[in-house]
Amino acid sequence: MTRAAQVMLDPQALRHNFQRVRQCAPRSRVLAVIKDNGYGHGMVATARALGEADGFAVACLEEALALRNSGIRKTIVMLSGYFGREELSVIADHDLTVVLHHRSQLQVLEASDPYAPIRLWIKLNTGMNRLGFRPAQLAEVWARLRASGKVNMESVVLMTHLASADDRQDPATLKQLEVFQGAVRGYDLPLSIANSAGVLGWPQCHADWVRPGLMLYGMSPFTDTLAADHDLRPVMTLRSRLIALQECRSGERIGYGGSWVCPDNMPVGIVAIGYGDGYPRGIGAGTTVLVNGHQVPVIGRVSMDMLAVDLRTHSDARVGDDVTLWGRGLAVEQIARAAGRIPYELTCGIAARVRRIEVRG
Ligand SMILES: Cc1ncc(COP(=O)(O)O)c(C=O)c1O
């Protein structure tokens, strides 16, 4: 018997969410962020479904090459840039774009001999303190890039990344914007600031290129809203089936450690999905799944391959019935919150053994 757990992927939802980006930021080009296997949705399939995107962002060279080798010809930006000289020739050879964020990369570039000018975005650190040059370093970086003769200066975009845009009350975003605007003044170059939270919540940050990830997959970047509040549709639905039913008696314990005790004589359903598939083990009480579209609570500890559900409100459920863990009808943001995680972790964490099926029509 094949495992019942499967991920359904909906390219139409992806395209709908992409149009939402266009509606929110109509004057910006869109760099669709598809790193980490398209946030678990499949990197190449996502790129193919998003033919209207102006370019794609990945984390590293391996991801960029996988995309190029699958026939994607658009701009591909490597957000973590490069590390060694040997990478630069491959980057030039495949017409990839790198993010330059650190002096060590500048030194590598100056000491290297790439076979063609490198396409490059410069990242500024405006307050996140993760990657990027300080604004005061930009003049020197710019002068050295020009002098090197190794950069396609037409390709340069100035970018920064927002640290707290998911909190619309946090003044840190406007502070970052101010620092960025001050740093780029006098450079007549395209600019890029906004991630999904920036696209949806901070129009003043849209600039020339937006870089949404999360919202494309139909997830809200804010902690106080769900995707549907922004007219976003879930691209991934995680499903499985009931593989057993138990008629338990009052006082009987469910699963490892017997952490959940039946308050009544009651039907318990066993679903073929567990933490070995990527379902979070650490969910809080009251986390639900949909059995045939009926919302029922998960009970006891999540095992590697299975979890148990309370079927008292849906006692006509049968072995083989359909179970939705998240996606259509049950927001992944809610499951993530119940597990003390963020939705990115859940979709990125789907295990290789879970079958992936593209929804058609
Ligand atoms: C530099 C950069 N830009 C954009 C994004 C997309 O962010 P989000 O998925 O929140 O839209 C990321 C994701 O981590 C990123 O690192």
**CATH code of 288's domain:** 2.40.37.10
Boundaries of domain holding 69: 11-219
256 catalytic residue (yes or no): yes
Q: Is 6 within the bounds of a domain?
A: no
Query: For 94-98, 282-286, 335-339, which range has the lowest pLDDT when averaged over its residues?
Result: 282-286
Instruction: Give 159 Cα–ligand 1 centroid separation in angstroms.
Output: 12
Distance 212 CA to ligand 1 centre (A): 6
Q: Ligand 1 pocket: which residues have CB below 6 Å?
A: 33, 79, 161, 195-196, 211-214, 221
pLDDT interval class at 113 (50, 70, 90):
confident
* Nearest alpha-carbon partner for 324 in 241, 242, 239, 249: 239
> Do 188 and 242 share a domain, yes or no?
no
Report the pLDDT averaged over residues 221-243: 97
Q: Is the pLDDT of residue 3 over 90?
A: no
Other C-beta atoms lying within 10 Å of the C-beta of residue 149 = 9
Domain boundary among 151, 184, 219: 219
Q: Does a structural domain hold residue 224? A: no
Which of 131, 195, 196, 225 most suits a substitution to test ligand 1, by most atoms within 8 Å of the C-beta?
195
Query: Are residues 210 and 318 located together in one domain of the fold?
Result: no
- Are 188 and 293 members of one domain? no
Q: Is 263 part of any domain? A: yes
* Ligand 1 center from residue 244 Cα (angstroms): 41
Let me know whether 98 and 163 are in one domain: yes
In a domain, 159, yes or no: yes
- Whether 30 is covered by a domain: the verdict is yes
Question: DSSP 3-state assignment of 25?
Answer: coil
* Distance (Å) of CA 66 to CA 59, 71, 73, 348: 12, 9, 12, 18
Catalytic annotation present for 35 = yes
Q: If you count them, how many residues does the chain have? A: 361
Residues in Cβ contact with 329 at an 8 Å cutoff, skipping those fewer than 6 apart = 290, 293
For position 285, what pLDDT does the model report?
A: 85
Range from 105-114, 204-213, 339-348 carrying the lowest mean pLDDT: 105-114
Selected catalytic residue, list 35, 123, 217, 275? 35
Amino acid in position 350 = I
CB 317 within 8 A of CB 269: yes
- Checking if the pLDDT of 361 tops 70, the result is no
Identify the pLDDT of residue 191. Answer: 98
Q: Whose CA is nearest to atom 16 of ligand 1?
A: 79
Averaged pLDDT for residues 259-286? 96
Q: How many domains does the chain have?
A: 2
226 within domain boundaries: no
205 and 318 belong to one structural domain: no
Judgement on whether residues 215 and 248 belong to the same structural domain of the protein = no
Q: Residues 6 or more apart from 225 whose CB is under 8 A from it?
A: none
**Is 231 within the bounds of a domain?**
no
Gap from CA of 286 to ligand 1 centroid (Å): 31
Same domain for 313 and 200: no
Query: What does the alpha-carbon distance between residue 200 and residue 13 come to, in Å, rounded to a whole number?
Result: 17
Query: Which atom of ligand 1 is closest in space to residue 198's alpha carbon?
Result: 11
Q: Indicate whether 49 and 180 sit together in one domain.
A: yes
193 Cα: distance to centroid of ligand 1 (angstroms): 10
Q: Which of 23-27, 110-114, 171-175, 220-224 has the lowest mean pLDDT?
A: 110-114
Q: Please indicate, yes or no, whether residues 206 and 285 belong to a single structural domain of this protein.
A: no
Same domain, 154 and 268: no
Residues 29 and 109 reside in one and the same domain:
yes
Looking at residue 118, the DSSP 8-state letter turns out to be B
Same domain, 192 and 242: no
Mutate to test the pocket of ligand 1, among 24, 46, 79 (most ligand atoms within 8 A of CB): 79
